[in-house]
Amino acid sequence: MDLEWNDSQPIYRQLRDRVVEMILDRVLKEGDPLPSVRTVAAEYRVNPLTILKAYQQLVDEELVEKRRGRGMVVKIGARDLLLQGERQKFLAEQWPRISATIQRLGLTAEELLKGTENGRASSSNQAEDGPGAREEER
């Protein structure tokens, strides 16, 4: 877990959100154990009760479950449940602003798709060529 604390949100919530990101990014897969409370508390110098609160929230959301002898593990179907929720959240909160910007700029579906393809092509070229490769071509 890689964390820097944000003062605008409780630490337990930030921990919970980081575990959710790890599940969505497939860093943690179904059946994988979560890092132990003691390990996380020691590594980030956070009260173990704060870690327990974050993990309990994940249990309450039915994303992880307690297993005797294994601690907390990611439940089967957790990623699908998260994707469904994140998609709904995106469509409700972010998409209206994005859609309004698209309409304001008069962008067509073709332009958007072409821009997405160009963005993927340039980022994959940079990844393959390395950061200084473009300068050498000139």
Residue spans per domain, the chain: 1-107, 108-138
The CATH class for the domain spanning 1-107 reads mainly alpha
Does the reported pTM lie above 0.85? no
> What is the tens place of the pLDDT at every residue in 68-110?
888 999 999 999 999 998 899 999 999 999 999 999 999 998 9
For the chain, the farthest-separated pair of C-alpha atoms sits apart, in whole angstroms, at 61
Considering Cα of 24, then 28, then 30, then 33, what sign does the dihedral take? Answer: negative
The size of the chain, in residues, is: 138
Beta carbons of 19 and 54 less than 8 angstroms apart? yes
pLDDT of residue 114: 87
What φ, ψ does residue 67 adopt, rounded to 5°? -125, 130
